[in-house]
Structure 1
Amino acid sequence: MANSLHVYDKKRDFTKTKEPKGQVEKGSDERRFVIQRHDATNLHYDFRLEWEGVLLSWAVPKGPSYRTKDKRLAVKVEDHPLSYRNFEGTIPEKEYGGGTVMLFDEGTWEPQEEPTSDSIKMVLHGERLKGKWALVRMKGKDNKDNQWLLLKEKDDYAKEKNDLVDIKTSDRSGLTMEEIAEHKESKVKEESEEGRETQKNQDATEDKKNKEISKTESSNPKAKTIKEKEKKTLPFEEAEVQLAKLVDKVPEGDAWVYELKYDGYRILAFKTGEDVRLMSRNGVDYTEKFQALKSSILDQVEGENFVLDGEVVVLNKHGITDFKALQEYIKHPDDKTLSYMVFDLLALDEEDYREKNLLERKEKLREMLKSAQGPVYYSAHTKEGGNSLFDQACEKAMEGIIAKRMDKPYSGGRGGDWVKIKC
């Protein structure tokens, strides 16, 4: 599965398009994927998988489908740079691929087996695409070498109806294709003569303000110290989430604790004073989409500044997480009640709690959530009876359970300290 960005660069004029230049990068510990809705000559979806420092890419005319009987044609195209996973905007009309590009979904992926030149079986951990999928090269005299099929494999995420086609907004920005195109046009207007003059005036005002601040700080040494102290409210502003490795059996022994597995959106809550940011595991800001939870976090969680890790879910009448209902809420916010199931504490004020072991983190977390009555909840654990908890979860048609090493720090990534067992 050799890859190169030579073809990618050759097809583009980077003096005209804002697409990133081709550069092979060092890959991350977790392989990322992105799906981009691309309205070029024909509307299609670009399916991209991180592999050896680039994004392997396929154009899928009809887009991905959750129905196992749907076999989607996927045409292999040139490899793209990893930075392309952040591209959302408009490619100039006369340039290669001219049209609007939307970030439809993003996340990480795991190979189910070693990928080959004819087959890639994977598990997707996206915001919209989850579970087992496969890319299989088509064979036969009439098939070209670049023709593949994108298939949904049978698992709990497979559906009879493909509701992915109903999603018309960006997973990252929340904008429609039309709004992305309009956003591009508005930026062009800002760069007009009038816009440049306005910007020039703003820059002059900002320079004057900065000079006054510098003058104040130099005349009063304490001012700078106070300013730095005010800004340092958390030890970090972003974090790599800890992920669970899929295993077949519930691990046993005194080193493990067990929790229920929730089917929702993994969200980190960053609180500084009266401000709350809700960020996905991929760094996407969900604060506006989950605005209903912001006030609850401010009211129910004790602490001035902290970082929480949990899952945003919608619970059905039986108290079971309903992922489809959550997706509907994101598309059309309604009277569905969001819940935030909090299971870890990453920071409190200026202290980085990730260095502490799990039980220390959860003990402090439970103390901070002692007044929480919902929709913010403390996710409890048990130190024994992992198999029993797993059986109960499966009987109630839940996703499964998570087993965690109680003596380990929060290291981020998909190591072996957290494992998941699915029903």
Structure 2
Amino acid sequence: MDPALVHRLASGEGWGLLQSLPPYDASEAMSLATRLRGEGFDAELVSAALTQSDLRARAVPKFGAAAREMLFTRDGLEQATRTRIAAHHATRFVEAGVRHVYDLGCGIGADAIALAKAGIALTAVDTDEATAAIAAVNLRHWPRAQVQHTAAHDVAIPSGEDARGCGIWLDPARRTPGVADAQGRTRRLFRLEDISPSWDDVRGYLTRTPAAGAKLSPSFPHAAVPAGVEAQWTSYDGEVLECALWAGATVRTPGRTACVVREHVTALVTERDALGAQPLPAELARLGPYLYEPDRAVIRAGLVGALVNAADGRELSPGVGYVTGLADVQLPWARRYAITDAMPYNLKGLRALLRDRDTGTLTIKKRGVSLDADQLRRQLRLQGDRTTTIVITRVGGAQVVLVVTPL
């Protein structure tokens, strides 16, 4: 979508058309487009409005009811920060005493909106002209938010005494510019050296103002965390969404942390919580009565040791994430199971065990092993009436099966 079409959608006839559309229904989109063109609406405007209607429907899980008043691009929506996570970002800057944030790579404006809501003045920029125009529409309610179409390195950021009260927020592009696929999305980039601004530039920005933050991929490597910086992996309802780097006054706990966000709770895990944790010896006999599965943000941050300490337990094998423990504890960032059976992984033995339990429906959880869960179900040929949950993983170097009951 070009900037001119963004402006047509955001004013007069285009906005009225967009707001009048019924809830998006893919099966009705073609007939609706035909009817609207028959009523005299321009074909290009109709197509753009229906695309926005589709994107607004997809955006509701991230933005809630506010999505119905926003504009999007497909790439921008995919990379946009969820409203609740963006509010956490904004709180960092508020607590740091920041009054003006330079949002370098604002995209459609998700984080900028949260910053504006928090009362912070903004200079938001994006290198793509249409995206910057969309961000301006989405930030139209906040007069202290200015949006510019420019590159990050062309923004004049205060330095020295003038930088007091200023902050920088970066969300580097992680997609290849150019030809999009049939759904309008460009190819995602996964290597740190491929982001734009570059990783070297990001590290430089983290030291240019008294307070700075950068949103990076959940695959961000631990070894790349700069000294004195906080790297926080954040999950939302079990999905790891980002690793955010915080520098200067925005740092709360230097090093690696995990933020687990669920519907009614937000939990924090730090390196201090994980100190002194030890792995389990390779013996099934040493299993405790409980099995714990940490949130993926905790695993990605390398903080499974915090669960080991909290559950008075041991990790089954380095890197698998599962922890067996003696203590029966409820944690907002870990699932808890009772272990009812344990055995070395063996197809014949597992089939016999599950048939003894009259198992017909099998839930298979696995980590640290390579197997096809659907193929395993076919091989087991279960015909019972009960449901059983098993965990296939490693204890030490050996593959094991744990029969568990969720608690």
The TM-score, its normalising length taken from structure 1, stands at 0.29
More strand by proportion, 1 or 2? 1
Larger radius of gyration: 2
More helix by proportion, 1 or 2? 2
